[in-house]
Structure formats: C-alpha cells, structure tokens
Amino acid sequence: MRMSSVYPLKFKPIYKERVWGGRQLHQLFERNFAGAHIGESWEVCSSPYGMSVVANGIWQGMTLAQLLHNYPQTIMGETFTSVQQFPLLVKFIDATAKLSIQVHPDDSYARTVEQGMGKEEGWYVVAAKPNAKIVYGLNEHITQQEFVAALQGDYLLDCLRFVAVNTGDMIYIPSGLVHAICEGIVVYEVQQNSDITYRIYDYDRVGMNGKARETQVDKALDVIKFGVSSTTEFHRSVINGSYFSMSKHQIDGALMEPDFGNLRIYCAVEGHGYMRYHTGEIALNPGDNLLVPAALPQVEFYGKLTLVKTTITGHSA
C-alpha cells in the first residue's frame, strides 16, 4: 500500500430499529432513513450483526473486514494482525423512549460463559431534553439480596441511581455497572465490539414482535459488582477506558493532529468544518464520523466544531 493512496474513511450508516427508538437522528443530523423507531445508527462496525462499508474514495464499496484483511497494518497500526477483529463498535443511540436496565460482563466472564468478548462503553451526550436522566449504578449499600428482593417485589427502580445529564457530558460505563439511558437522550457511544447484554428489567414492555423482551437476570447477578460505590463525574472531556479512550475537542479556527501510527476515529458532534490531510480535504457536518488509518500522516481540522476523538488503547486477548 503506497502511503499517498491512504485517506480518511467514511462509512455508510447502518440503521437499527428498536422498540425505544425514534426520529432524532433525522432531526439532529438531517439524515434520511425510513422507520419511525430507529434506535441506533452503527457508524463504524465489523461484526456478524453489522458490517461497515466504505462510502468514499478508492476503497468505496469495500467492507471494514475486507480492509483489515487486506491492509491490516495500514489501517490499524504495526501491532495488528489480520486474525484479530476490529475491537470497537461505534454508534449513535436515539433513546426516544427509555432503554432497559442492563449490565455487561467483563472479558473473563464473557470468554468463559459466552465464548465472546466483554463490553465497556463510553458515552458522549449529543442531545438531552431538560431533566433527562440515566441510570448509573445502584444506590449505595444495596446488597445482592436486596437487589433480588426488589426485582421480585417490582420495586427495582428504588434501588437505582438516577443521575441528570446534559449535552456534552462524557460518561464511562465499565463492565459490571448497572446502567440505562432514559428517554429524551441521544448518545454517541463507543464500546468494545461485543453484543453481550444482560437485560435486568424492561418496564414490562413488549418488543417489536409484540412479545415481552427476554431478561437474563441470573447472568446479570453474576457480573454486577455489588458493594462498590459508583462515583459520578460527567462534566469532563476525556474518558480513559481499558480498551479505548475518547476525548472532546472544541475547535474554533484550527487544530493540528500530528498523531501518527495509530488508528483514530473522529466524530463531529456539533458545528461545521473540514479535515485536511496530505492529499485532500473532507467536509465535516454534525453526525459525520471519519476513520483515520494508522498510516495516514498528520491531519488538520478547520472550522467551528466539537469533535470527539477515539483511539484504541488495548485489546481483548
């Protein structure tokens, strides 16, 4: 692969219908899609449940999996081998209605019980209605016994920490933390590339097929970390997870990104501008994601925009 032909990649979004979804991604990002209940837009993904396809340049039409197979080091950096899978899943979530109360396993539990990967998540709040809330952990001192009693007695919500969130907040969700996005929030989410969710409580809702959605309470009880108090500090500009980090950059003018040798994903969450790279430039509008391959030299941003930058910091073994 000649360096001069490497460029920032755009992907076609993959829309997912969800019982709690809506039309906010159309409202916010002027995107056109069918469906009244679009809950997720998968922006960068390589999994059996969704595969990103390049939307620009010479690699247009190729899947992310094909790119990683053909040009592993060009895209991912020197340490990546083509047998590894893409480690992240990047999406927007439109919680027009609230999501189920849930928890995700860590790598070791997921490997043993599910032959899969664990999941940590990082959220950037793109939009939040006044008084919008999330569930972030349990109220202090809730034991496993009390938790089970509350679930059986149908008063689980009394055990949960509901926390107000605002546009621009960044929230880290480690594995083992009970969490949920409540109604009226649009989130930009970066997570480990895993689809393992243990649903604990779903407000007695029925799914798109008219049947009650399944819960996985036993496994959830295995992985919830009881007895740890969950500190909440959302008004920050960096998330340092175990597998990735996310940072917020407010640009009014120009920003140089000399970062070279690592894959980066930039999301324009607000405002307008463009990215310049060694052989061209690409416009950035709200909701746009750009994957910058590891082999691409310095990039520069111009305009008035808020960017969220994601880099990979670790891999599941």
- Residues marked active site are found at 199
Q: Which of 81, 82, 87, 30 is nearest to 291 (CA)?
A: 87
- Whether residue 84 contacts residue 117, with contact meaning beta carbons closer than 8 Å, is answered with no
Q: Which of 267, 260, 262 is nearest to 246 (CA)?
A: 267
Helix (H) or strand (E) holding 257: strand 244-257
Sign of the torsion formed by the C-alpha atoms of 191, 192, 195 and 200: negative
- Whether residue 254 contacts residue 281, with contact meaning beta carbons closer than 8 Å, is answered with no
Burial class for 18, CB neighbours closer than 10 Å (0-12, 13-18, 19+) = buried
Question: Using CA atoms, how far apart are residues 208 and 20, in angstroms rounded to an integer?
Answer: 9
Question: Using CA atoms, how far apart are residues 75 and 292, in angstroms rounded to an integer?
Answer: 8
Q: Which CA distances in Å does 260 have to 31, 148, 169, 199?
A: 32, 49, 28, 40
Q: In what order do the strands lie in the sheet with 14-22?
A: 14-22, 38-44, 88-95, 185-192, 121-128, 170-173
What is the token pair recorded at 120?
């940590």
Q: What percent of the chain is helix, strand and coil (3-state, nearest 5)? A: 15, 40, 45
Question: Using CA atoms, how far apart are residues 185 and 15, in angstroms rounded to an integer?
Answer: 17
